[in-house]
C-alpha cells in the first residue's frame, strides 16, 4: 500500500454534547489519531478486493456505484464509543474520489473546496470531517455516518409521499439554521435538495455534499430592523414576531400541528416586546458580494438567474430553500416538466401555482411564494438573510436557540450497513512438475 500523503483527524463528537479536541484528555487525542492512521491501510485493502482488514472493514455504500465519486462506510475495530467487551464500534461515512478522473473533468478544485469547507464547519446540523487522506489514486474524506438515510427516501415512505406541515416546518427550520451558518462563513451552498439532507439516528438532520458550494468574502453589517413598531404594518409585511430569534420561548404546540394556547392578558405584553425588538439593530452576515457565472445545481432546483446566465449570489440558496420546502409539503417540486428542458422553461417563465392537495396553511404558502420570487432582489432573505426568514409567521413558535432539544417528528428506522463478504482469494498456482 502507498502511504497517505495527507492525514487529518479529529475525535467524534456527540450529537448532544459536542466537545472540541482541546477539551479531550491528551491520551484520548493521541489514541484517536493513532487509530485513524489505520484508515488508509483498511481502505487500500478494500480497493484491492479484500473487503476489509484486520484493523477494520470497509463497506460499499453505493452498491457498485461508479467512480469518480463513491461512498463507502468504514469501521475500525479498535475505535469504540465506550470501551469494554460490549462496546459498539461506530461506522464512518467515507467519500472516495478518483483523482485522475476529477482532473480529467477539471473538478479537482471543487474537491479541494469541499474539503476546505468541511474543515471549517462546527455546527450541529452540518457534518464533521473526522479525517482526510490520499492514496496514489484516491482522495478520501471521512465523516460521520447518518443511519437514518436522507429526507428524499424518508418522504417516499410518508402517506401521500409528503410530510405533514409540522414535520416540514421542523426539517426546514434545521436546514435554515445550517444555511445561515454557511452564509456566515461566506459559503453559498447551491445544492439544497432532500437527497442532500441526511437524518441522524436521533431524528435531527445533517446537510451534506459541498462540492458545488461557492466560497466568498463576507463582512458583518449592523442594520436597523426594517419593521415598523406599528403592529398593523408589521402584519401587513407578512413578518410576525420580530423578536422570534431574540425572545427565549419554548417550542409552541403549533410546531406539532396543534393550536397555540395564549391568554388574552399576555397579548399586550407580547405586542410591547415586539415593538421593542423591532427597534433593535440586527447583525446581517450575508455573502452579498458573491457572484458566479457557473451553471451548477439540480434542474428542478435551479434559480432563474442561474438558468438565464446572469450571474448569481447567495440569493440562490433562498430560492432552493423555497423549492425544498415545497417538495416537503406537497411531495413534488413546483416547476417540474416532462423533460429537463421543459423544467428550465417553467422555472423562468411559469407562475407559481400551489396544488389543491394536500391542504396547507396560508403562512406556508406565503413563505414559499416569498422565497420563489423570480427576481433575486425581490426574494425573501436577500436583504437580511436567514433572520428575515426566521421571523416569518410560518416559523412562529420555533425556539431557534433550543431547537436541538426539541423532539423530531419521528426517529427513522436505522439503515444498517450491509457487509459484503470479501471475494475468495485465488489459490496459489501449483508448483511446476518435475521432469
> What 3 state SS string does 89-134 have?
CCEEEEEEEEHHHHHHCCCHHHHHHHHHHHHHCCCCCCCCEEEEEE
Q: What is the pLDDT of residue 40?
A: 54
Residue linked to cell 410530510: 163
Question: Catalytic: which of 60, 150, 191, 317?
Answer: 191
In the DSSP assignment, the letter for residue 328 is H
Q: DSSP 3-state assignment of 434?
A: coil
How far separated are the first and last CA of the chain, in Å rounded?
Answer: 39
pLDDT in tens, 18-66: 333 333 344 444 444 444 444 555 455 455 444 444 444 445 555 444 5
Catalytic annotation present for 191: yes
Burial class (CB in 10 A: 0-12, 13-18, 19+), 43: buried
Q: What is the pLDDT of residue 19?
A: 36
Q: DSSP 3-state assignment of 375?
A: coil
Domain map (residue ranges) of the chain: 7-15+29-144, 151-222+283-405
Which residue positions in the chain have pLDDT lower than 70? 1-89, 224-280, 288, 414-435
CA distances from 227 to 242, 362, 380 (A): 8, 21, 14
The domain at 151-222+283-405 falls in which architecture? Orthogonal Bundle (1.10)
DSSP string, 255-294: GGTS-----TTHHHHHHHHHHHHHTSEEEE---TT--B--
Q: What is the pLDDT of residue 134?
A: 86
Which class is domain 7-15+29-144?
alpha beta
Amino acid at each position: 500500500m502507498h502511504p497517505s500523503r495527507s492525514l487529518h483527524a479529529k475525535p467524534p463528537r456527540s450529537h448532544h454534547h459536542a466537545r472540541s479536541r482541546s477539551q479531550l484528555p491528551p491520551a484520548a487525542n493521541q489514541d484517536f489519531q493513532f487509530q485513524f492512521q489505520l484508515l488508509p491501510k483498511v481502505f487500500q485493502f478494500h480497493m484491492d478486493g479484500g473487503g476489509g482488514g484486520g484493523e477494520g472493514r470497509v463497506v460499499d455504500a453505493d452498491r457498485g456505484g461508479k467512480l469518480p465519486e463513491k461512498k463507502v462506510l468504514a469501521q475500525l475495530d479498535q475505535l469504540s464509543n465506550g470501551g469494554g467487551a460490549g462496546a459498539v464500534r461506530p461506522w464512518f461515512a467515507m467519500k472516495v474520489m478518483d483523482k485522475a478522473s476529477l482532473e480529467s473533468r477539471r473538478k479537482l478544485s471543487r474537491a479541494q473546496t469541499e474539503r476546505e469547507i468541511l474543515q471549517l464547519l462546527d455546527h450541529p446540523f452540518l457534518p464533521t470531517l473526522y479525517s482526510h487522506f490520499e492514496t496514489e489514486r484516491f482522495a478520501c474524506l471521512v465523516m460521520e455516518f447518518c443511519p437514518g438515510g436522507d429526507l428524499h427516501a424518508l418522504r417516499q415512505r410518508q402517506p401521500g409521499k409528503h410530510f405533514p406541515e409540522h414535520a416540514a416546518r421542523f426539517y426546514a427550520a434545521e436546514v435554515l439554521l445550517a444555511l445561515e451558518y454557511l452564509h456566515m462563513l461566506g459559503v453559498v451552498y447551491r445544492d439544497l435538495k432532500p437527497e442532500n439532507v441526511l437524518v441522524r439516528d436521533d431524528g435531527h438532520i445533517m446537510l451534506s455534499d459541498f462540492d458545488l458550494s461557492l466560497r466568498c468574502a463576507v463582512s458583518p453589517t449592523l442594520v436597523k430592523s426594517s419593521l415598523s413598531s406599528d403592529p398593523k404594518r408589521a402584519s401587513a409585511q407578512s413578518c410576525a414576531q420580530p423578536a422570534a430569534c431574540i425572545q427565549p420561548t419554548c417550542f409552541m404546540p403549533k410546531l406539532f400541528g396543534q393550536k397555540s394556547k395564549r391568554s388574552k392578558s399576555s397579548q399586550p405584553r407580547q405586542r410591547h416586546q415586539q415593538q421593542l425588538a423591532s427597534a433593535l439593530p440586527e447583525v446581517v452576515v450575508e455573502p452579498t458580494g458573491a457572484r458566479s457565472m457557473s451553471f451548477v445545481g439540480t434542474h428542478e432546483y435551479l434559480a432563474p438567474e442561474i438558468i438565464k446566465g446572469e450571474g448569481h449570489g447567495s440569493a440562490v440558496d433562498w430560492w432552493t430553500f423555497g423549492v425544498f420546502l415545497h417538495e416537503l409539503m406537497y411531495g413534488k417540486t413546483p416547476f417540474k416538466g416532462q423533460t429537463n428542458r421543459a423544467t428550465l422553461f417553467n422555472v423562468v417563465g411559469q407562475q407559481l401555482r400551489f396544488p389543491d392537495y394536500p391542504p396547507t396553511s396560508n403562512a406556508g404558502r406565503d413563505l414559499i411564494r416569498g422565497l420563489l420570487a423570480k427576481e433575486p432582489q425581490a426574494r425573501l432573505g436577500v436583504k437580511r438573510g436567514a433572520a428575515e426568514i426566521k421571523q416569518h409567521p410560518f416559523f412562529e413558535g420555533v425556539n431557534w436557540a433550543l431547537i436541538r432539544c426539541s423532539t423530531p417528528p419521528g426517529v427513522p428506522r436505522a439503515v444498517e450497513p450491509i457487509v459484503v463478504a470479501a471475494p475468495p482469494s485465488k489459490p496459489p498456482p501449483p508448483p511446476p512438475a518435475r521432469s
